[in-house]
Structure 1
Amino acid sequence: MNWRNYLFHFYLDASIHVALAVFAFIEITCVFFGLSRDNHISYLVFFGTIACYNFVKYGVEAKKYFLVANTYHKNIQVVSFIAGAFALYHSFFMSFEAWIGLAVLLVLTSLYAVPLLPNAKNLRSLGGLKIFIVALVWAGTTVVLPIVAAYRVLDWDVAVELVQRFLMVLILMLPFEIRDLDYDDPELRTLPQRYGYLKTKVFGAVGAVVFFFLTFLKDYLTYFEVLGKGLAFLGLGVLMLSTRRNQSQFFSSFWVEAIPIFWWVCILVLDVFLNP
C-alpha cells in the first residue's frame, strides 16, 4: 500500500472523516441560527467524535485490541488518545448547561456500545433501534449543543431543526444498513431486514421530502435557508437513487459521510452571495 492509500484508509478508519461531517453539521447550525462561533464546542465535538467512534468501533474487543493490535491499529489508538485529550481540554471552556447536554449524549453513546447491566444487551444490539439512537445523538450534538453553548433559547425553530437533523442523519445511515444487509445478524432486525431493500429506499425518499417541507414550519424563515435545505433535499434524493446493495468500496464510508461536508461548503458559498 503506497502512502496515499495508507493516509486515505487511515483517515477513514481513524474516524476523522465522520468527525469532520459532525463538525460540518455544527457549522451549518451556526450559520442558520446566526450564532457567534464557539470554537470550543466545535473542536470538542470534532475531537470527541474521533475518540468516541473509535471506542465504539474497536472497544468491543478492547483487551484483544490492546494486546495484539498491529502498528496500523496502534496508530489509531494514539490518534484516539490525542483526540480525547484535546476534547477534554476544550470541555473546560463549556458552560454548565452545555455540560448537562453533553453528559446526556455521552451516556447514550456509552450505552450504545456497553451494556448497562452484566449479561444485558447494549443499545447497538437491540433490533431496529441502532440507527435511531445514532440519529438522536448526532441531532442533539449538532443542533442542541451549539444553541445551548450560545445561550440561546430552545424554541420552536430549534425543535424543527432538531427533527430535520434527526431525519437527515437517519437517511444518511440507510446506505450503510443496505450495504450490510447480507452480513448483519438477522436478530438485529434492521430496516432492510424487516422491509426489504426497495422499501427501505422508499422510506429514505419519503423521509427526504418530509425533511424539506418541515422547513416551512419555522417561525423565522429566510430564502437562504429554504435554498440551503433544498440543496440538502436534492442531495438526499440523489443518494437514495444511487444506493445499491452491491456498493463500491467507499460509497458509504466516504461519499455518504461526505454529504454533510459538501452541504456545509455549499452553505458557505450561498452565505457569501446571499448574505454579503
Structure 2
Amino acid sequence: MVKKIKLAVIGSPISHSRSPEIHQDFAYQAGIDIEFSKVELSKSNLDDWVHSFFLDGGKGLSITLPFKEDCLSLADEISDRAEITKAINVLFNSKGKILGDCTDGVGLVKDLTINKNQSIKEKSILVIGAGGASRGILPALLKEQPKSIVIANRTVEKAERIAKEFSSKALQTSKSSNLIASSLSFEALKDFEFDVVINATSVSTNPSQNLNLDESVFRNTSLALDLYYSQAFTPFMDLADRAKVPNVIDGWGMLVEQAAESFFLWTGFKPDTSELIAKHGE
C-alpha cells in the first residue's frame, strides 16, 4: 500500500481555510494520495509543532497568518524569493532538509494578470499592511513595474522600514517603482490616487476589527483586492463596492494559484487551476 503524503496548513485562525479541499483537488489530478490537515497554533507552540511534523514524516506545510515571518527561522534553507521577502508561506522536506519558500507573490500576479486580465505595469498601487502578507507579495508586484506602490500601515514606522528595505533590494531595476510609506489616515492618503488597492492586513479575519478607511481612497480605483478570501463581501470589499470600484475581488484566485505553486514544490506536479478558480470555492 502506497503511503499517503502528509501535508498541512497552519495559522490562527484556521477554521475558515479551504486549503485541504484545494490540495485534494490537485492530488486527484496528480493521481496521488495525500493526508491534509489544518492546524491552529499559537506562537508559543509553533516551533515544537513544526519540528514534530517533519520528524513524523511530514512532507509539506502551508503557512498562513500570522506565522509567515515566524516560520522563516524554522527552515534549513530558503529560496531566493524568500530571501527577499523575509516571509514564507511554505515549508517542505527535500532530501532531509527543510526548505522554505514564498509562493504568495507569484500566485497573486498570475491571478491578476492571467486569470483576471489586469495589468500592473505603470499602475499606482496601495498596499494596506506591512506584515508578512505584504512582504510576500511586494517583490512580485515590483517585478511587474508599477508606477508606484504606497505601503500604508497604522504604525507608519513599520511601513517606513519595509519601504526602505524593499527599495534597496536587488530586484529593483533601472526602471524601479516608487515605494512610499504612509499611515492609514485620511490626511496621509488624501493627495494620492490609486489604480489598485490591496488589503494585506488580517482585519478581514476578525469581524470586530475595522480598517477605518475613508471611502475617498478608492476614487479612480479600477481594482480593489482583499487578500482574505470569503464567500461574502468583507467590510473592505463593501467599502470599495460603495465607492463604485468596478472590480472588487477577494483572495480566492491568489490562494488557488499560490497553492498550485506549493503543490508543485511538494510533488513535482503542476496542477490545472482553472476549474477551482471558476468555482470560487463553492
TM-score, with structure 2 as normaliser: 0.28
Q: Greater share of helix residues, 1 or 2?
A: 1
More strand by share: 2
Report the TM-score, using the length of structure 1 for normalisation: 0.28
